[in-house]
Amino acid sequence: MSTERLRELLERGTPVTVLDVRPAVERAEWSIPGSVHADAYDALRRGDSTALADFHPTNGDRVVTVCAAGKTSKLAAERLRARGLDAVSLEGGMRAWSLAWNTAEVPCPGSTARIVQLRRTGKGCLSYLIGSNGDAAVVDASLEPRIYHRVAEEHGWRIRTVLETHVHADHLSRARALAGDTGARLCLPTTDRVSFEYAPLKDGDIVRVRSAGLRALHTPGHTPESVCYLLDEHALFTGDTLFLAAVGRPDLEASAEQARHRARALHRSLQRLVALPPDTLVLPAHTSEPVVFDGRPISATLGEVQERTSLLRETEEAFVSQILTRLPPTPPNHHRIVALNEAGSLPDDPTELEAGANRCAVA
């Protein structure tokens, strides 16, 4: 079964049991929402006849088996079919699933714009389509351009502007490709990191989406160029600077000394953000959990984020010390991903580079 077919089934709520047969340590990194787990990888690989003998579907009769790349899951499906079950394997496994997506409408009282959150359900990347009076802007495009076209057309919008909050390290940016496909203006925070043409944005600049406005707030720390975009003073697109219960990491593509300097800058940036009204809606570029197909936006008010995130209440010295000792492992392939994003290039097959969970947050 293809990723797109499984995505459609989950989006419609069609009964299907997704059986993950990877080792537990791999599943802990990332998984398909609602899937069940059987740690049968080793048993299947060695041809153990008892592998999955006790498994029974939990959500309807159809079973879709999944592994890392779609090979061992074929063995699992064959074993289940031999027992008379309706079982198929997910083509390409979790690597292919990294491109699966779903959407949620984001209510934003006080703004003339409508917001659609587009979520890469396996990888946790969050991007946004903002529409107003027929025009639209995209923030932090991480999906194929055709998907933004499709969702914009469903709402009667035309994409006029494509914005990035920073040069990403955990996924390949589709911003330049989307701007090229649509003829939209490509906007990035002012930086000398990239080698392609773009419209530079500095602190305080406003990007119009018809009657709505996105104000750029320079928030260095996660990267030197990072910005957040404040929509009509009500919704804040925070990129990787601030998450719903964590903050951005300051160490990627940085020496130890640079990471400490950036951690100090990040503290100042976060203090600027928490000074905004507490009912400001926070819309980050990532989430750490698989995104379920429930149509509910991943968001919180700034006040809620402050309550959840103890690092926001620390002094600068304590913040720097704590964030540098809590750093998670670096994102897989981040050096190669950053190089491609700085060049504005995309490989023919991004699934190998992008496999795995994102690791840009520090809680």
pLDDT given at position 110: 87
CA–CA separation, 24 and 160 (whole Å): 44
Report pLDDT digits (tens) over 317-350. 999 999 999 999 888 889 999 999 999 999 988 8
Cβ 159 vs Cβ 184: under 8 Å: yes
CA–CA separation, 233 and 109 (whole Å): 11
The four Cα atoms 261, 199, 128, 345 give a dihedral, to 10 degrees, of -80
pLDDT given at position 359: 83
Ordered structural domains, the chain, with CATH? 3-96 (3.40.250.10), 100-362 (3.60.15.10)
Amino acid at 69: A
pLDDT given at position 358: 77
pLDDT given at position 353: 87
CA–CA separation, 147 and 157 (whole Å): 13
- According to DSSP, the residues that pair with 106 across neighbouring strands are 115
Report pLDDT digits (tens) over 216-258. 999 999 999 999 999 999 999 999 999 999 999 999 999 999 9
3-class DSSP state of 338: helix
Cβ 242 vs Cβ 283: under 8 Å: no
Q: What is the DSSP letter of 312?
A: G
Q: How many residues does the chain have?
A: 363
The pTM of the full predicted model, rounded to 2 decimals, is 0.93
pLDDT given at position 62: 96
Q: Which residues of the chain have pLDDT under 70?
A: none
Closest-CA residue to 3 (of 99, 118, 114): 99
CA–CA separation, 316 and 322 (whole Å): 10
Concatenate the DSSP letters of all residues of 122-135 into one string. TT-BEEEEEEETTE
